[in-house]
Every structure is written in structure tokens, then in C-alpha cells.
Amino acid sequence: MKNLKLILTLFFLLLTNCIQGQNKVDYPFEVFSEITLNDKLSIVELSNTKLSSENLTTYMGTPNNEECNDFTAYSRCTLFYDGLILKYTDRYGSFDFDSARLTNSIPNISYEGTNIKVGDNINLLSSIFQEAYHQRGTNAEEEHSVRLGLIDTSLVLEFIYNVSSDLIKEINISQSNI
């Protein structure tokens, strides 16, 4: 029975790694608290469940569009900005960040004075996120990713780039609320 559990655990770890492409490289809280979205809100603040949709629009401005689906116990909303899609869930009055996706060169991620945006060369990350850059991996045939994780949490920052051009296609920030 122990061998079966070990085999199943190893199988699921291997399967998870294959699906995700590159394993995330964990960085400490201090690094993630200095990574900002549009030089306004740190990634840690963005994922903070004490943040509200009203506070979010204070930092990010009024979205171009907002779509919300109301369910019995919660609502799930998506805020659309130019090149930025923010998703959150409001459960029982508790605001929970789900994800952010940067899709064009208007929004950016900043760290240590470097702005990183869609369309930049992935080599820009080689000096500021060295370990994650050197462990980049494949998540699809023409795409690779560089994944950073906040240590001991489910918060992940992922830079997806085209392997042929080395240009960043999308930047994702996600957090599992499980």
C-alpha cells in the first residue's frame, strides 16, 4: 500500500510538472512585495484578500468594462483594462484575488527599476530573476515560460514567451484560493 501511494504521488508530480512546463522558482516575500503592477500596486498587495474592488479601482483606475456573475454565496467579477484583465471573487464580503493577465504593452510589471511588458525580450529577465530565467521551460510547442512563486503560497507570476522570437506574449499573475 505504501508503494502504491508513493507511485501515485510521483506520477501526479510528474504529470503536474509536464502540464505546467517549468516548475516555479520560489522567491521570498521581500522580492514579491517589490514587484509592482503599473508602479502602483505590489503583487503582494494585489493578492491581499483585504483589498476590495473599490480599493482596486483607486489604484488601477476605472476599468473599461466589468463583468460580474452573481451566484448564491458569492460573485465572480472580471475587470477589463486596456491590456489588463483582473479577476476576483467576492465571497461573503471577502474579496479574493484570482488572477491578472497582461496582454499588450500598456500595463507593465516593475522590479528594481526595470519595467517588463508584453513584447519585451525574455532575456530582460536573465539579470533580475536569474534562477527562474535559467530554469525556464516549455508549456506548449512554441511557448516557454519563466515562473516565479511567492514562497510557501500559491501566488505565481508567469512570463510566457514565444521560443522562436524570445518575445514575451503574456504575463500572468495567479493565486489559487483553494
* DSSP secondary structure of 56-70: HHHHH---SEEEEEE
Burial of 120 (0-12, 13-18, 19+ CB in 10 A): buried
Q: What is the pLDDT of residue 119?
A: 97
Q: What is the pLDDT of residue 20?
A: 40
Half-sphere exposure of 97 (CA within 13 A, CB side): 25
Query: In this structure, are residues 101 and 136 in contact, taking their beta carbons and an 8 Å threshold?
Result: no
Type of residue numbered 97 = F
Q: What is the pLDDT of residue 28?
A: 92
Nearest residue to 162 via CA among 148, 141, 147: 141
Nearest residue to 171 via CA among 145, 141, 139: 145
pTM above 0.85, yes or no: no
Report the mean per-residue pLDDT for the chain: 82
The whole-angstrom separation of Cα 154 and Cα 177 is 8
Say if strands 25-27 and 143-150 run parallel, antiparallel, or are unpaired.
parallel
Q: What is the pLDDT of residue 139?
A: 57
The whole-angstrom separation of Cα 88 and Cα 71 is 14
In this prediction, the residues of the chain whose per-residue pLDDT falls under 50 are 1-21, 178
Type of residue numbered 171 = I
pLDDT digits (tens, 9 = 90+) for 34-61: 999 999 899 988 887 667 777 788 888 8
